[in-house]
Homo-oligomer: A and B are copies of this chain.
Amino acid sequence: MIDLQKIIEGLKESIPQLSIDCVIFGFQNQELKVLLSKLPDIDLWAVQGGFIRKTEDIDQAAARILEERTGLKGIFLEQFHAFGKANRPSIDFLREAFKSISDRVAVESIPFLTQRFISIGYYSLVDLLRVEPVPGISYERSEWFDIQKLPKLGLDHAEMIEKALKTLQYSVDYALIGFNLMPETFTMNELQKLYETILGETMSRNNFQRKILDMNILERLEKKFTGGAHKAPYLYRFKRLNQY
């Protein structure tokens, strides 16, 4: 049950007309996914949003929202763009968003919510299996969607995801170290699959290995015996030196 009083109190401690939206990417089965939450009673989805408390840095607010929705702390999280069309969001979206409480109160009666919002977008890349999704207030449930097969998205969230993805692709090389996305140890092939999924293109095995090894960011560990009828690949892990 949604506690209306708590919502309104929370809003009072927050900065009006300004929100944060986190585009949370996850990786599984060679698919790049994004964590979306569904509005009640309608097939409309959104990325993980929230507000900025008055005493909180915006980076802290983004980290808090990420933690609230995934349970993950200390994850690499990067701002990518602020969205501020004069007509976002439409009151229609808000009415849907607060439908579950709208029998008790009309959205229009909460001034905080009926105004125009400017939203600062952050993105993160997480180990999907470590996430226990908790939808934000007024959302029904959360789900991972393949980036190729997104559902109907509210507001400008399609554009947001698009832009977050572009930013992620642009910064794969340095971002992968920061996001502790890979398990502690992994094979070169597993790392390559991640690259290919993010970039949406295949890469040649030999040259990928050369490129990554030349970066000098990995240490080679013992071999991994998978039981497959073939040569066993080495395991690697990221070096523990001077990184983020």
Contact = CB atoms under 8 A, between A and B. Distances in A.
A118 interface: yes
A52 B18 contact: no
A86 interface: yes
A84 interface: yes
What is the interface residue range for chain A against chain B?
20 to 34
A177 B18 CA distance: 32
B57 A15 contact: no
A57 B118 CA distance: 9
A60 B82 CA distance: 13
B17 A15 contact: yes
B55 A86 contact: yes
Contacts of A17: 15-18
Nearest to A55: B86
A173 interface: no
A239 interface: no
Interface of A: 15-18, 52, 54-60, 79, 81-82, 84-86, 116, 118, 120
Given A15-B17, A15-B118, 20 more contacts: A15-B116, A16-B17, A17-B18, A18-B18, A18-B118, A52-B84, A52-B118, A54-B86, A54-B116, A57-B84, A57-B85, A57-B86, A58-B82, A58-B84, A58-B85, A58-B118, A60-B86, A79-B81, A82-B82, A84-B120
